[in-house]
């Protein structure tokens, strides 16, 4: 089944404790992206990647890191999480960037 998977689905952590949210797709898509969704603010793009070893900032990259060492994986790293990063995070993949397919989401709470 073609899909985008994210892990973990739910995470509660404390301020400053480094964490990684994994994202994997099995559709051989070139493009992958991370978004956060907050009430009243909608979906905002954090980082995106057009291909392996190529990453670019989205609208809200501060406090986040990404890497794209393999085509199928695009992990999101929070080196020192803060409470304002409490949000619902979505990973997405696409053949070229237009038709994006989203994962199920990761709900992160930073205390």
Partner 1 sequence: QKEVEQDPGPLSVPEGAIVSLNCTYSNSAFQYFMWYRQYSRKGPELLMYTYSSGNKEDGRFTAQVDKSSKYISLFIRDSQPSDSATYLCAMLGDDYKLSFGAGTTVTVRA
**In the complex, least distance from residue 98 CB atom to partner 1, rounded to whole angstroms:** 4
Kindly identify the residues of this chain, within the stretch 43-82, that bind partner 1 according to CB under 8 A: 43-45, 48, 50, 56, 58-59
> Is the CB of 79 or the CB of 99 nearer to partner 1?
99
> Is the CB of 58 or the CB of 63 nearer to partner 1?
58
> Is the CB of 44 or the CB of 72 nearer to partner 1?
44
Within 13 Å, how many C-alpha atoms sit on residue 17's CB side? 9
> Is the CB of 4 or the CB of 110 nearer to partner 1?
4
Strand 101-102 to strand 42-51: parallel, antiparallel, or no bridges (unpaired)?
unpaired
10 binds partner 1 (CB under 8 A): no
Strand intervals (E) in the chain: 4-7, 10-13, 19-25, 31-38, 42-51, 54-57, 65-66, 76-78, 87-94, 101-102, 106-110
Cis peptide before 86 (omega within 30 of 0): no
Chain-centre distance for alpha carbon 6: 8
Binding site for partner 1 (CB under 8 A): 4, 31, 33, 35, 40-45, 48, 50, 56, 58-59, 90, 97-105
């Amino acid at each position: 089944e073609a899909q985008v998977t994210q892990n973990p689905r739910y995470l509660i952590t404390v301020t400053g404790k480094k964490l990684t949210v994994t994202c994997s797709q099995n559709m051989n898509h070139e493009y992958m992206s991370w978004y956060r969704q907050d009430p009243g603010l909608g979906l905002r793009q954090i980082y995106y990647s057009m291909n392996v070893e190529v990453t670019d900032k989205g609208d809200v990259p501060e406090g986040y890191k990404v890497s794209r060492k393999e085509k199928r994986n695009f992990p999101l790293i929070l080196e020192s999480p803060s409470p304002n990063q409490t949000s619902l995070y979505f990973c997405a993949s696409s053949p070229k960037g237009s038709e994006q397919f989203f994962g199920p989401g990761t709900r992160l709470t930073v205390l």
